[in-house]
């Protein structure tokens, strides 16, 4: 299904037009071809939510804040958190993750290293998450967030098994990669993003995070890159095989395939580090 080249709205199936009904009427009015008192049909923009209640973006935002408060109470500080606190609450630590505590690949993306870390990530999630959720749909948005967060966690372990990783940035880079692929392959119009004023935020946050990660010690840039690559691949697959939100069964199959690929990668990592496959409490705990 094509998009209007001006506003990014979805065009009707089998339509050969390049602009939507609203944009065509608007252009006609500007040319003076429509009476001033003619009824203007308003078509909601694609990024405007049509339902009420708590969005998944807001839920993710709240979950990150709740765990940040838990880490602050456990450590008595908000500037930075010691390793034992992060480990206890679910940081992605290669030796622990690979020896049975695979759940860390999920929990790490809701933890942060300190106040600056969470402020940066939550600023981006708040500005960009609702847009992605509206464009992709609630459950596809969540699937991309979690799958690419896991891919970032695996990339972190693959790059350096001894590094411990926390933060939502792997998943956020995944959303960025998915949106880039969707725009490039024609699933979404660039104007659907730029019209909301978030395109600049997207570019700024991504560029700043990557550059800051390369020049600063202690930043897990491999997680960022792993999430970005996972997002590009998943976004491209969705754009090609299930671009419409109504194609839920196809999207489910894509996420099952993505989960299978991640499982194979996890097994390959365990084999590479010569760790026996197991699920449960890591023997590193005393």
pLDDT digits (tens, 9 = 90+) for 71-125: 999 988 888 898 899 999 999 998 999 988 999 999 999 999 999 889 989 988 9
CA distances (Å), 191 to each of 3, 143, 181, 194, in order? Answer: 10, 24, 15, 5
Q: Residue 174: what pLDDT?
A: 95
CB 198 within 8 A of CB 179: no
Q: Residue 275: what pLDDT?
A: 85
Domain definitions of the chain by residue range: 1-43, 56-272
Catalytic-labelled residue, pool 151, 156, 169, 182 = 169
Q: Residue 286: what pLDDT?
A: 62
Q: Residue 227: what pLDDT?
A: 94
Q: What count of other Cβ atoms lies within 10 Å of the Cβ of residue 249?
A: 9
Which CATH architecture is the domain 56-272 placed in? Up-down Bundle (1.20)
> CA-CA distance, 137 to 119, in Å (whole number)?
25
Q: Residue 274: what pLDDT?
A: 86
Q: Residue 168: what pLDDT?
A: 92
Residue 32 has φ and ψ, to the nearest 5°, of 80, 20
The ranges of the chain with pLDDT < 70 are 1-19, 21-22, 26-52, 189-202, 205, 216-218, 286
As given in the structure block, the two tokens for residue 147 are 């799958």
Q: Residue 7: what pLDDT?
A: 65
Is 224 labeled as catalytic in the residue annotation?
A: yes
Q: Residue 237: what pLDDT?
A: 95
Q: Residue 62: what pLDDT?
A: 95
Catalytic-labelled residue, pool 165, 182, 189, 224 = 224
Q: Residue 110: what pLDDT?
A: 96
Q: Residue 257: what pLDDT?
A: 97
Q: Residue 38: what pLDDT?
A: 58
């Amino acid at each position: 299904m094509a998009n209007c080249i001006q506003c990014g709205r979805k065009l009707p199936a089998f339509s050969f037009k390049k602009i939507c009904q609203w944009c065509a009427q608007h252009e006609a009015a500007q040319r003076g071809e429509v009476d001033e008192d003619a009824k203007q049909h308003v078509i909601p923009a694609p990024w405007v939510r049509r339902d009420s209640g708590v969005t998944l973006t807001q839920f993710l935002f709240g979950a990150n804040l709740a765990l940040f408060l838990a880490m602050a109470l456990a450590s008595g500080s908000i500037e930075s958190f010691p390793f034992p606190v992060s480990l206890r609450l679910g940081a992605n630590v290669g030796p622990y993750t690979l020896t049975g505590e695979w759940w860390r690949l999920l929990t790490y993306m809701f933890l942060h290293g300190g106040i600056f870390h969470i402020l940066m990530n939550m600023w981006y999630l708040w500005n960009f998450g609702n847009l992605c959720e509206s464009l992709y749909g609630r459950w596809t948005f969540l699937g991309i967030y979690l799958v690419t967060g896991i891919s970032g966690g695996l990339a972190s372990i693959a790059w350096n098994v001894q590094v411990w990783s926390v933060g939502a940035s792997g998943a956020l880079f995944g959303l960025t990669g998915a949106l880039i692929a969707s725009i490039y392959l024609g699933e979404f119009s660039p104007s659907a993003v730029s019209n909301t004023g978030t395109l600049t935020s997207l570019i700024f946050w991504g560029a700043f995070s990557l550059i800051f990660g390369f020049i600063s010690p202690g930043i897990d840039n491999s997680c960022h890159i792993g999430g970005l690559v996972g997002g590009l691949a998943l976004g491209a697959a969705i754009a090609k095989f299930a671009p419409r939100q109504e194609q839920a069964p196809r999207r489910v199959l894509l996420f099952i395939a993505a989960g299978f690929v991640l499982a194979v990668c996890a097994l390959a990592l365990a084999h590479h580090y010569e760790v026996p496959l197991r699920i449960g409490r890591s023997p590193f705990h005393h």
